[in-house]
Each structure stands twice: as structure tokens, then as C-alpha cells.
């Protein structure tokens, strides 16, 4: 009987996923501790400086406002970097073509890379939360939604990281995307302040910034307060998940970056 092509080789899929997780767990200082320390510094500096000012959502303690933003931002970067770095380093090591020799379906390969990124993103997000417990307490308004939201954020950016890994052939280009695209989007995505409070046209950034709804949903899950229309933002989150994953699937199946035409 012909096997289903989507889930063709479960052991192959779990091995590939384990490798993607194992790869970053072998260097935890760079992959987990460094972003955690950055987030703690953000919390100490911005939190300390801005706590007494009118920043964030009215009536909400600024540290409470900041923690879900930092957790989301940590998840964004970690999830993006994991598949992007993995694919580009395989190109660099001349092992990328090994991927074509495995009897693992494209869907399984894509999911393994994306889930590897999701694992790292959620881990960094949750560790950021865990590290801030001493400052803001452990209470989360909707804990399950908080984890789901970090997962969704990580899923979107792991898919985008996979796309970048496939398209680009060196670390410089990946770092360019991180520095020129992802970082500004994160800073203008409502991580540190309420976007609506920006003057004039800058406030409109939230309509084109994919990080904004993801941060806002995570913040809603954390403190139960939100900016804008949360239902619309949840719908946008679902659209982002589908859109990024389908785009990654299309590029992977076309063989861009891994097959020669």
C-alpha cells in the first residue's frame, strides 16, 4: 500500500527535529543565555528608566507591560535564527545536499526545521518570563494563551527564518535581514511602548508590522489588557501562521537553495 506522502517517515522526522534542537542546545550560551541576558538588560534599563513615566498602557505597571513584549521579541529572534542559521551553516559546510538524500517527505522536513525554531523561540520566551518573576511576580492572566501566543510568534518567524535560510547563501545576508528588517520591526512592534502613542504616520506602522499583533496577543494573554482590536489581531496571527508556513513550503518544494535546476 502506498504510504501517505506527508507523514512518510516518522523516525526520520523526529531525528531531523532532534538534530535541529540538539544543534542549538549544544551551544546554550550563544543560543539561549545571550538573548536572555539581553532581555534582562532591556528590563533593567528600560524598565528602570520608564517605570515612572507615561509609557505603555494606561493603568498597567510598565514592567508588566514590558515582560510579554520582551518574551515575544526573544521568541522572534530565536525562532528566526534557528532554521536560518541551520540551513546557511549546512550550505557553508557543504552538507546541504544531504537533505535531498533522506527518505523524508518535504512536509516532514519543513515541519522539522520550523518546529526546531518554535522550540527555541518558546524556550527563550518562557525563560525570559521565568527570569522576570522576581521583578513582576509569576501571575499570568491566561497562561495557556500566553504559551500559545509565544508558539504562534515563534512559528511565524521560524517559517520566515527557513525562507531566508533557503534563499540566502551566507551569514552576512541573514544578519542583514536581522539588522535591517527584523530588529526595526521588533522595536516598532509594541515591545517597549504603545504604538498608538507614536506621533502621526508612525502610529500607522502597526498596520503593516507583523510583529505588532503577535506582541499584542501575547501581552493580552499576560496581563489581560490589549491595544486595538484583539479579535482582529488573533485573526491576523492565524493568517500570518498560514501565510509564512505556506510560503516556506512553496520555496522548499521548489528546491530553492537546495537543488540545482
Partner 1 sequence: MLEISNLSKTYQRGNKEALKNISLKIEEGEFTALLGQNGAGKSTLINILAGNVKKTQGIVKIGQYSIDKNELETKKIIGIVPQDTGYDFVFTVDEALKNQSGYFGIKNNDDYIDELLEALYLKDKRNARLRDLSGGMRRRFLIAKALVHQPKILILDEPTAGVDIEMRHTLYEFLIKLHQSGTTIILTTHYLEEAEILCDRIVIIDDGKIVADEPKEQLMDSFSDEVRIELHFDYELNLADFEFLKGYDLKIEEKTSLKLKVPKKDLSKVFRMLTEKNLEFTNIFVEKPKLEEIYLKLISH
Q: How far is the CB of 165 from partner 1 (least distance, A)?
A: 15
Residues in the chain: 261
Q: How far is the CB of 210 from partner 1 (least distance, A)?
A: 31
**Which CB atom, from 86 or from 218, has the smaller least distance to partner 1?**
86
User: Alpha-carbon distance 84 to 75, whole Å?
Assistant: 14
Which 8-state DSSP code applies to residue 189? T
* Cβ-Cβ contacts under 8 Å for 46 (sequence gap 6 or more): 66, 192
**Which CB atom, from 8 or from 142, has the smaller least distance to partner 1?**
8
Q: Measuring CA to CA, which residue among 121, 153, 162 is closest to residue 246? A: 162
- Report in angstroms the alpha-carbon separations of 48 from 38, 130, 256: 15, 19, 46
Q: How far is the CB of 78 from partner 1 (least distance, A)?
A: 17
Q: How far is the CB of 102 from partner 1 (least distance, A)?
A: 4
Give the footprint of partner 1 on this chain (CB under 8 A). Answer: 5, 8-12, 14-16, 18-19, 22-23, 26-27, 89-90, 93-95, 97, 100-105, 255, 258-261
User: Alpha-carbon distance 163 to 166, whole Å?
Assistant: 5
**Which CB atom, from 104 or from 150, has the smaller least distance to partner 1?**
104
**Which CB atom, from 184 or from 254, has the smaller least distance to partner 1?**
254
Amino acid at each position: 500500500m502506498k504510504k501517505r506522502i506527508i507523514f512518510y517517515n516518522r523516525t526520520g522526522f523526529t531525528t531531523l527535529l532532534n538534530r535541529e534542537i540538539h544543534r542549538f542546545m549544544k551551544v546554550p550560551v550563544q543560543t539561549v543565555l545571550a538573548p536572555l541576558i539581553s532581555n534582562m538588560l532591556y528590563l533593567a534599563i528600560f524598565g528602570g528608566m520608564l517605570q515612572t513615566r507615561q509609557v505603555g498602557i494606561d493603568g498597567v505597571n510598565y514592567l508588566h507591560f514590558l515582560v510579554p513584549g520582551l518574551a515575544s521579541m526573544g521568541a522572534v529572534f530565536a525562532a528566526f535564527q534557528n532554521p536560518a542559521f541551520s540551513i546557511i551553516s549546512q550550505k557553508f559546510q557543504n552538507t546541504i545536499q544531504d537533505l535531498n538524500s533522506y527518505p523524508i517527505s518535504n512536509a516532514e522536513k519543513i515541519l522539522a526545521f520550523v518546529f526546531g525554531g518554535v522550540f527555541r523561540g518558546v524556550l527563550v520566551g518562557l525563560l525570559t518570563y521565568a527570569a522576570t518573576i522576581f521583578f513582576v511576580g509569576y501571575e499570568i492572566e491566561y497562561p495557556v494563551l500566553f504559551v500559545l501566543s509565544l508558539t504562534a510568534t515563534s512559528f511565524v518567524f521560524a517559517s520566515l527564518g527557513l525562507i531566508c535560510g533557503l534563499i540566502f547563501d551566507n551569514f552576512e545576508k541573514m544578519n542583514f535581514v536581522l539588522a535591517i528588517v527584523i530588529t526595526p520591526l521588533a522595536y516598532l512592534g509594541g515591545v517597549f511602548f504603545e504604538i498608538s502613542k507614536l506621533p502621526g504616520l508612525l502610529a500607522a506602522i502597526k498596520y503593516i508590522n507583523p510583529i505588532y499583533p503577535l506582541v499584542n496577543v501575547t501581552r493580552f494573554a499576560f496581563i489581560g489588557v490589549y491595544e486595538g482590536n484583539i479579535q482582529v489581531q488573533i485573526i491576523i496571527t492565524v493568517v500570518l501562521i498560514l501565510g509564512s508556513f505556506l510560503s516556506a513550503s512553496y520555496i522548499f518544494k521548489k528546491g530553492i537553495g537546495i537543488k540545482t535546476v
